Amino acid sequence: MKYVVVTSRCPVSHDRTGGREILRRNVGGVVTALHQAMKTNGGVWICWGDGNADVNYPVEQYDGYTVARIFLNRYEKHGFYDEYSNGTLWPLFHYFRERVRYLDESFETYRAVNGKFAEAVKKHTDPDSVIWIHDYQLSLVPELARKLGITNFMIFTWHIPWVSSEFFNILPQAKELVDSITQADMITFHTELYRKNFRESCERISPPEFNVDDRTSAFSLGIDSDYYSKIEETANPLENLQKNGKVIFSIDRLDYTKGLINRALSVERVLKKYPETRGRLHYVMMVTPSRTSVSEYLKMKRDLETEIGRINGSHGDIRWQPIIYMYGKVSDRVLLSYYRYADIALITPVMDGLNLVSKEFVAASRHGILILSEFAGAAFNLPQALIVNPNDINAMADSIYSAMNMEPGEIDRRLEAMKTSVTRRNLKWWIEVIEKRARALMSNGKVISAHGH
């Protein structure tokens, strides 16, 4: 299929630092997955050029496809990205009611910016393109593009949770969102639960002609399993720590949805409840900077670091600190070596659409055990993990302790079962099932666009 992909973030950005310009590949689940699809099929990728030298590259060829950028001024960026996307929709769709901001003005800016994306879709769409729009930042693009006369087959993929219909209805613009998203011919979610919640939201407010059962699907995004499992041998960066005890590892964007403080508290609980683990538990917590222009994210960093300092100060000594905290980005190579050798991965978001880190760990790990939140979409794919409630500090501590003491045979049995599922339902599978479903919808005519595919 020839796609016009539409995402908020670009696959690559141009940055000028110290007189030198560099081309930076953006990391993140959505961008990495779509890059694979575009590399194979070609097509156009419309995105927001937020690199400080991107204005010099409104349209460029990259790895077999075209990147077409839209640009935002400071005011647009603030209203669209900081305020409505990350201050209203992000907390709402992760059940953080008290954090949801209600600003009419930011919604207007969000709508205007979605309009810019829709204009770009019109500009770059051929009659035979399939338009594939992604995620909560672009929920109004389907309707705005239809209003501009775009009749092409349109897929919308929602990457974060879809909340229950009662909760969704607290959003003043609930109807606008659903009315727009249902202008797509096919809508995909990561889990059946999100699909069901969406269906119920539609039943409350959407136009009756939309047949939700036909046009929605639950396909959990997969990873490039070969990339994670077949990477060349590297030295074990954890070897020294493992001479004396077990290494627990995690990597997350700094975000309140990730439950980072609860995780640190659960490690502290292990030390208090099971004193024999003192000196033998090493929690390597990597945190990646995120949304640094949003002030509450800066406060979150301070709060997390204060808590980690307190725990290390109360329990550590001159030879040992229970939490080894690192803030910053690491290369794929470094990340893979941690995945490969860590004894335990502790992935316990309080709410997460899917969570690719858990799948990447499974693919790369040699003998590791995964502790995974029941509120990560990936928990539906990985039932052999130790599944925990991230709000239950005591239960998390017990899971950590049992992971530290698990028989090697059981670790390997669980890991093998998870590896099989991650390999079967990998990225290639995800792209194929979406294409297959799209073709089926096109051929039986159950589409809004009905334009002769």
Contact residues for ligand GDG (CB under 6 A)?
27-30, 32, 159-160, 221, 251, 253, 288, 329-332, 335, 352-357, 360
Cα distances from 67 to residues 11, 58, 124, 129, 267, in angstroms, run 8, 8, 10, 15, 44
Q: State whether residue 329 is helix, strand or coil.
A: coil
DSSP, residue by residue, 169-234: TTSTTHHHHHHHHTTSSEEEESSHHHHHHHHHHHHHHS-TT--HHHHEEE-PPP--HHHHHSPPP-
323 contacts 317 by C-beta, under 8 angstroms: no
Least distance (Å) between residue 148 CB and ligand GDG = 27
DSSP label at 362? Answer: H
CB-nearer residue toward ligand GDG: 179 or 252: 252
Q: Which residues contact 51 (CB under 8 A, 6 or more apart)?
A: 10, 13, 14, 15, 24
- Shortest CA distance to 44 belongs to which of 26, 68, 25, 63? 68
Q: CB-wise, 199 or 253, nearer to ligand GDG? A: 253
Closest distance of CB 426 from ligand GDG, Å? 13
Helices vs. strands in the chain: H and E counts, helices first: 18, 16
Closer residue to ligand GDG, CB minimum distance, 298 or 334: 334
Tell me the CA end-to-end span of the chain in Å, nearest whole number. 11
Rounded to a whole number of angstroms, the minimum distance from the CB of residue 228 to ligand GDG is 9
Q: How far is the CB of 157 from ligand GDG (least distance, A)?
A: 8
Give the Cα separation of 393 and 64 in Å (integer). Answer: 48
Rounded to the nearest whole angstrom, what is the least distance from the CB of residue 314 to ligand GDG in the complex? 29
Shortest distance (Å) from residue 89 CB to ligand GDG = 12
In the numeric block, the tokens 């939140």 are attached to 373
H-run or E-run covering 415: helix 408-424
Minimum distance from residue 339 beta carbon to ligand GDG (Å)? 9
Cβ closer to ligand GDG: 92 or 221?
221
Q: Which is nearer to ligand GDG, 27 or 433 (CB)?
A: 27
Query: Based on CB atoms, which residue is closest to ligand GDG, 257 or 277?
Result: 257
Rg (C-alpha) for the chain, rounded Å, is: 22
The nearer residue to ligand GDG, 12 or 251, going by C-beta atoms, is: 251
Q: Which is nearer to ligand GDG, 28 or 115 (CB)?
A: 28
Shortest reach from residue 446's CB to ligand GDG, in Å: 25
